[in-house]
Chain A
Amino acid sequence: MLIHLKNVSYTYNLNMPFETVALTSINLKIDKGEFVGIIGHTGCGKTTLLQILNGLLEPTSGQVFFDSIDIHKNKHKLRELRKKIGLAFQYPENQFFEENIFKEIAFGPKNMGISEQELEKRVKQSLEIVGLDYYSYKDRSPFSLSGGEMRRLAIASILAIDPEIIILDEPTASLDPQSCNKLLSVIINLYQKYNKTIIMVSHNMEIIAELTKRIIVLEKGKIIMDDTPRNIFRFSIEKLENIGLSLPQVTYTLYKLKKMGKPVSSAILTVAEAKDEILKLVRKR
């Protein structure tokens, strides 16, 4: 498998007065081509986990393997890893600093030794994937864009590295509905057309349920659930409710109906599925 976290724990400020345990005994395997969603309350360790995944943080105990190689065994391996895993933090547009969009996108690949000719190709391709026209955008300042465009630009700057794995931390945070939809189609495209492995953290359960194929639930630094969305909604829905995580509106509706004794399934991920399930029931009567 692609990424393997073996008994990983992480403590901030180890052995100092403000020591905080962020992750405990994380065992996680992610294969190529997966679309994984990570959910949990603020403070559960999501962001720490993401940084462990791409090697920005070294576990205080445990190991991180990429393609079966321990990534912290040597610095060179870590460098190489950066080319394979792209990580977009929350509000990634806060990392912009170049005078034009071309340079901003080229920053990543340039750092990784990509040649000048290849750079242009990469920039063109990245902009195309996120739906921004190369010729009209390449000379503009990154700061002249709208909020939604900046977000997509930031994603493009990560894509230019041409990583196999893309990690996104709350990619739709603060976006207006229209920009949000545009960004989601980009992400779906990355998964379906470009076959990227995607790991996404989000508070938006509706997006997680619809898009991801596997959900990992973190609570207080531990993984408490790791399954497909459908299985989680079918078997562990009470557990989610108990830790206070909200469900997609349609799932919640079916869950409540099920609790009232109606013969429906709560393993519902989308509006279409909910509609079908409800109509099935109505027709039965």
Chain B
Amino acid sequence: MKFARNITIGQYVYKDSVIHRLDPRVKIFTVLLIIIAVFLVKTWSGFSIIGSYLFTNIYLAKVHPKFVLKGIKPLIIIIMFTLLIHTFTTQGEVIYNIWTFNITREGIQKGLFIAVRLFYLILSTSWLTLTTSPIALTDGIESILSFLKIIKIPAHEIAMMMTIALRFIPTLLEETEKIIKAQIARGADLESGNFIKRIYNFLPILIPLFITAFHRADELAIAMEARCYHGGEGRTHYRQLLITISDFIFFIITLLVLLIAYCLVF
């Protein structure tokens, strides 16, 4: 099965862009700020500023729009649904009437706002995962969390878990495929039956998978111990994160843009 798997975890696509080169922590904070801004902003002009900012970032990332759309596709239905619900259920100045359903001006506005907010959320997180490799994200999260060590957050342990998970996902996926095939060869039926039955039919896949995962964890722990692993204390880092002038400038610009968006009153 060696040739069958070349999985890219998440959506990371390597490109040589200024965004790709940004420090992951800066990008993570940017997304957090965008999330906050998106919910605080209440004006169309504010939204359009955020929108232009987002699209500029996506453009700078040299990422093909199709990848971005890929992230939106699954959630289009939810966005539409939310839009419709708010349009029809909000009280206010009625502009249209279909049967017993009232479409109010406030409803349309609220619905659109929420739809746009969701859209921006997806855009910004997609932007993050398209331009930041999973391991860079892990490093960024570890770095951010380590500032929280004061409140006893086990930053290193969390990062170690994420790294190992990333390392083993392709391996476990291959394993799953093998187990599925082995059980099908023994007549297992994974396709028919109602919901409950289907879950039951998956036990012959899940149980061996869990067992092998635990077994791997056991052996891996011994191997790590043999290599002097003893938690985060005294550990140095091979992969270093460096904040550069570009990171600084980017962050300042982001802050300014979002601040302006928030301050606009019309």
Contact = CB atoms under 8 A, between A and B. Distances in A.
Contacts of B223: none
B208 A82 contact: no
Contacts of A112: 187
A82 B4 contact: no
18 contacts: A12-B3, A18-B6, A43-B2, A47-B1, A56-B181, A87-B185, A89-B178, A89-B182, A94-B178, A94-B212, A95-B204, A96-B208, A97-B204, A111-B187, A111-B188, A111-B189, A158-B186, A161-B187
B208 A94 contact: yes
Interface of A: 12-13, 18, 20, 22, 42-43, 47, 51, 54, 56, 82-83, 86-87, 89, 92, 94-97, 107-112, 143, 157-158, 161
Contact of A82 (B175, B187, B204): B187
A43 B3 CA distance: 8
Interface in B1-27: 1-4, 6
A108 B181 contact: no
Contact of B4 (A20, A83, A87): A20
Contacts of B181: 51, 56, 89
A107 B186 contact: yes
Main secondary structure, interface of B, reads helix
B1 A56 contact: no
Contacts of A111: 186-189
A110 B212 CA distance: 24
B196 interface: no
Interface in B204-238: 204, 207-208, 211-212
B171 interface: no
B203 interface: yes
Interface string B163-204: 000000000000100110111111111000000000000011
Contacts of B207: 97
Contacts of B208: 94-97
Q: Which of A95, A158, A161 has the most B CB atoms < 10 Å from its CB?
A: A95
A182 to B, nearest CB: 22
Ranked nearest first, the 10 interchain pairs of A and B with the lowest CB-CB distance are A111-B187, A97-B207, A20-B3, A108-B186, A95-B182, A18-B6, A87-B185, A12-B4, A112-B187, A97-B208
B186 A161 contact: yes
Contacts of B184: 56, 82
A18 to B, nearest CB: 4
A89 B204 CA distance: 15
Contacts of B186: 82, 95, 107-108, 111, 157-158, 161
A86 B182 CA distance: 10
Contacts of B212: 94
A112 B187 CA distance: 6
B199 to A, nearest CB: 14
A158 B182 CA distance: 10
A56 B185 contact: yes
A69 B179 CA distance: 28
B218 to A, nearest CB: 13
B207 to A, nearest CB: 4
Contacts of A42: 2
Contacts of A110: 187
B204 to A, nearest CB: 5
Contact of B185 (A43, A86, A143): A86
B264 to A, nearest CB: 44
Given A83-B187, A95-B182, A107-B187, 4 more contacts: A89-B185, A97-B203, A107-B186, A158-B185
Nearest to A75: B191
Contacts of A51: 181
Contacts of B211: 96-97, 143
Nearest to B188: A111
A270 B72 CA distance: 64
Contacts of A92: 182
Nearest to A91: B178
B74 to A, nearest CB: 20
Nearest to A109: B187
A18 B6 CA distance: 7
Contacts of B203: 97
B85 to A, nearest CB: 38
Contacts of A97: 203-204, 207-208, 211
Contacts of A43: 2-3
A10 to B, nearest CB: 11
Nearest to B207: A97
B77 to A, nearest CB: 26
Contacts of A157: 186
A86 B204 CA distance: 17
Nearest to A54: B185
A157 B204 CA distance: 14
Nearest to A112: B187
